[in-house]
């Protein structure tokens, strides 16, 4: 509140310094979470994701709590058993089925599912975090990370984050995928949590 108030009332601030101050404020309010990935039996590395709580707060909070396990062990990605169950080369890697582990289940922190929050952010590049769904307003715990721009998904899947470190890990996941989505070896979220 104070920094936004100062932005409005400070006459000496230039347009670019206002934009930078707003960018700095937005960076500080958006949580950063991580997914540690194992491919086959080998730890591959960490994917760090900025959640866009400034644009999609409901969807971001769902993912943040699933990453931290705040809702308990049944609502947690980092159990060491949650797979990235579907990987299509040149498209995306999908995971987050915390109930069945095969893409047929999932659950949100709000109940079985929740409504599409908005479609403001777009699928513009590799590393975009978006909700997987089975139609409008069916968001749960399943998500996907793009490995290329996927504009045909805009308006159908809620974008709420972006990989800020570990894109190489995501691209390694893509290498074990196939056209059908099955993986040559298991890909597991071995741990997850919040960095800031």
CB 90 within 8 A of CB 148: yes
Active site members: 86, 91, 94, 133, 144, 153, 157
Q: Which residues contact 44 (CB under 8 A, 6 or more apart)?
A: 37, 38, 169, 172, 173
Residues 6+ away with beta carbon under 8 Å from 24: none
Report CA-CA distances (Å) from 139 to 14, 49, 110, 128.
41, 19, 10, 17
Q: The dihedral of CA 175, 146, 112, 76: what is its sign?
A: positive
Alpha carbon of residue 195 to chain centroid: 14
Residue 59: Cβ-neighbour burial (10 angstroms; 0-12, 13-18, 19+): buried
Rounded CA separation 26/50 (Å): 11
Give the separation between CA 95 and CA 111, rounded to whole angstroms.
18
């Amino acid at each position: 509140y104070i920094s936004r108030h100062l932005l409005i009332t400070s006459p000496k601030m230039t347009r670019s310094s206002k934009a930078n101050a707003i960018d700095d404020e937005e960076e500080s309010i958006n949580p950063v979470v991580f997914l540690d990935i194992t491919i086959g039996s080998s730890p591959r590395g960490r994917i760090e994701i900025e959640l866009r709580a400034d644009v999609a707060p409901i969807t971001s909070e769902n993912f943040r709590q699933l990453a931290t396990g705040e809702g308990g062990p049944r609502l947690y990605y980092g159990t060491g058993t949650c797979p990235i169950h579907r990987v299509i080369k040149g498209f995306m890697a999908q995971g987050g089925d915390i109930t069945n582990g095969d893409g047929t289940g999932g659950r949100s922190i709000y109940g079985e599912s929740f409504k599409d929050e908005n479609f403001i952010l777009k699928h513009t590049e590799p590393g975009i975090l978006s909700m997987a769904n089975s139609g409008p307003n069916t968001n749960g715990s399943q998500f996907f990370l793009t490995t290329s721009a996927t504009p045909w998904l805009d308006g159908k899947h809620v974008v709420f984050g972006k990989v800020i470190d570990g894109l190489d890990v995501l691209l390694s996941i893509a290498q074990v995928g196939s056209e059908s989505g099955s993986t040559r070896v298991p890909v597991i979220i071995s741990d997850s949590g919040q960095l800031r």
